[in-house]
Amino acid sequence: MDPDGRREMGLALLAGIAGVAGSFAITGGTTAFILAPIDTLVVNLAPGLVVAWLIDTVGAPAHVLHLGIAGLIAVGLLGAGARAGLRVASLERPVLGTVFAGGLAWATTWAITGQPVTSFGAAVPVTVSVGIGVVPSAGLDSGPARRRVLMAGIGAVGAVGLMSVIDRLRPSPDPIPADTTIPGGDDPELEQLLRDADEKSLDITGDDMPGLVSEIGDFYNVDIASFDPQLDAESWSMEISGEVKRSVTVDFEALTAMPIEHRHTTLRCVGEPLNGRQLDNAVWTGTPIETLLDRAGPSSACNCVMLHGDDGYFVQFPVEALEDGFLAWGMNGRPLPRSHGHPVRVLVPGHWGETNVKWLEEIEFLDEAVNGYWEERGWVGTGQVGTVAKLWSVQDRPDGRTEVAGHAYAGTRGISRVEVSVDDGQTWNDATLSDPLPGSDVWRQWRYRYESSETSEVVVRAVDGDGQRQPRVRSDSFPAGATGWVSRRV
């Protein structure tokens, strides 16, 4: 490549990177960021088995992987536009070329994000870097090519900085200030439930284990999109549609005027490893869904329903499961955080996590069963959650004994017993269990202390409320949830 060609490629790449950085600077980690829709596309185009394998093997860092791919695509698209502008500029039309490059960056970002205004966040740095690179009067003589690219780089960084300053000056898009109160939030019963959980949490030596209520910031997160939808309660509404006698639309005000309840509900993701940490519990504030269903009068031939979230997520399962469901707007007495579905999510007792749709938009009764998002990708995660006892904490006690502890969960079947072996399954002992919390879908804590020899092979297994022991046979999380007994050399 001749020096001019190299300079052009260098400038185009620089402009592409600056455009993506500028888009981020003005949008933050929101769905208006140019990467957000591209990332969703990358994830959706990835074969289901690849996604399942990634979740199983790399877990959360899989996000970094597909975000990286999305980043390369975005830089490539904006860079290609900049290159087209540079071509025009090379025909002795530097100003036209610069405007063309910026215009393409703006149009491309608009087309991808659907946001004309914030698309200037990508267009301005592209225009600046191309302009400094090609317009003779942009402050530089046509000095050495390398020097012009360097100056264009400095200009691009300045433009990105300007974008982020503009972003700071705009009113914050965060609809959930820390001190916001929620409908039902001053109910003494809520306070009582939280205190109750605190008192019933077992005394466990280490501090690497959650209590019976998970802190909001520690509660696990599973999202199909890398950027959370930003909905606010005032403009939110939800529709009950499809095979119903009358379709029903409810807004936040109408929803929160319905009977308010507070419930402990535990969530577990079908995709987690056997001893994984995608298992948490919270006290949720909301309203039983049944009243709304009665109003709509479902007449679904398949007795099945599809729930839709604002992020494009959808899941299908039996109407029967939804009848015990709950629409929640509060979590541990706080407004539902954005990452957990602000302003309203569904909670379906006893089913795997994936049925608990966040950013709820529509409840659609079907006449024929079709696959949901994860089922399209081969998962079987809408039924009753499996029984599991986790081994999350191992501690040496001041009295010389060893303490092992964890949480056990079996959905609406409940946990009746947790058994621990310290000799690799030859003999078994009952663990101490936390007193049951009120609610039909709540985990329990277990703890076991013993005189330790040099090393011991600790195995733990739970028995559910129906007397069924957690199955011993080992399986991966894909497709229907990990099974087996957790064991660990201590």
Give dist(CA 131, CA 250) in Å, integer.
Answer: 51
Q: Which of 145, 222, 480, 490 binds Mo ion (CB under 5 A)?
A: 222
Collapsing DSSP to helix, strand or coil, 51 comes out as helix
Using the minimum distance from each CB to Mo ion, give the nearer residue, 233 or 269.
Answer: 269
Residue 224: name its binding partner from ligand MTE, Mo ion, none (Cβ under 5 to 8 Å by kind).
Answer: ligand MTE
Residue 47 has a CB neighbour count (10 Å cut-off) of: 10
CA nearest neighbour of 463 among 413, 405, 415 = 415
Residue 475 pairs in a beta bridge with 483
Using the minimum distance from each CB to ligand MTE, give the nearer residue, 223 or 324.
Answer: 223
Site for Mo ion in 330-359 (CB under 5 A): 353-354
In the complex, minimum distance from the CB of residue 228 to ligand MTE, in angstroms, rounded to a whole number = 9
Confirm or reject binding of residue 269 to ligand MTE (CB under 6 A): yes
- The region of 105-113, 296-304, 309-317, 438-446 touching ligand MTE under the rule CB under 6 A is 309-317
Q: Helices 120-134 & 94-113, crossing angle to 10 degrees?
A: 160
Confirm or reject binding of residue 311 to ligand MTE (CB under 6 A): yes
Q: Which residues contact 189 (CB under 8 A, 6 or more apart)?
A: 262
Give dist(CA 459, CA 394) in Å, integer.
Answer: 12
- The region of 165-173, 174-182, 215-223, 458-466 touching ligand MTE under the rule CB under 6 A is 215-223
| # residues contacting Mo ion (CB under 5 A) | 4
Confirm or reject binding of residue 359 to ligand MTE (CB under 6 A): yes
Structure tokens at 395: 């501690």
Helix (H) or strand (E) holding 323: helix 319-323
Using CA atoms of 115, 121, 126, 127 in order, give the dihedral in degrees to the nearest 10: 90
Q: Is-contact 359 337, C-beta < 8 A?
A: no
Structure tokens at 135: 């317009």
Give dist(CA 233, CA 329) in Å, integer.
Answer: 9
Q: Is-contact 158 23, C-beta < 8 A?
A: no
Structure tokens at 319: 């109407």
- Helices marked H in 58-178 — which ranges? 62-90, 94-113, 120-134, 145-169
CA nearest neighbour of 473 among 277, 278, 274, 276 = 274
Confirm or reject binding of residue 313 to ligand MTE (CB under 6 A): yes
Please state the separation of Cα 321 from the chain's center in Å.
23
In the complex, minimum distance from the CB of residue 336 to ligand MTE, in angstroms, rounded to a whole number = 9
Site for ligand MTE in 316-345 (CB under 6 A): 340
Residue 95: name its binding partner from ligand MTE, Mo ion, none (Cβ under 5 to 8 Å by kind).
Answer: none
Confirm or reject binding of residue 220 to ligand MTE (CB under 6 A): yes
Residue 359: name its binding partner from ligand MTE, Mo ion, none (Cβ under 5 to 8 Å by kind).
Answer: ligand MTE
- The region of 22-30, 70-78, 146-154, 221-229 touching Mo ion under the rule CB under 5 A is 221-229
Q: Which of 89, 190, 213, 267 binds ligand MTE (CB under 6 A)?
A: 267
Using the minimum distance from each CB to Mo ion, give the nearer residue, 120 or 443.
Answer: 443
Confirm or reject binding of residue 358 to ligand MTE (CB under 6 A): yes
Confirm or reject binding of residue 221 to ligand MTE (CB under 6 A): yes
Residue 357: name its binding partner from Mo ion, ligand MTE, none (Cβ under 5 to 8 Å by kind).
Answer: ligand MTE
Residue 485: name its binding partner from ligand MTE, Mo ion, none (Cβ under 5 to 8 Å by kind).
Answer: none
Site for Mo ion in 257-276 (CB under 5 A): 269
Binding residues vs ligand MTE (CB under 6 A): 219-224, 267, 269, 309, 311, 313, 340, 353-354, 356-359
Binding site for Mo ion (CB under 5 A): 222, 269, 353-354
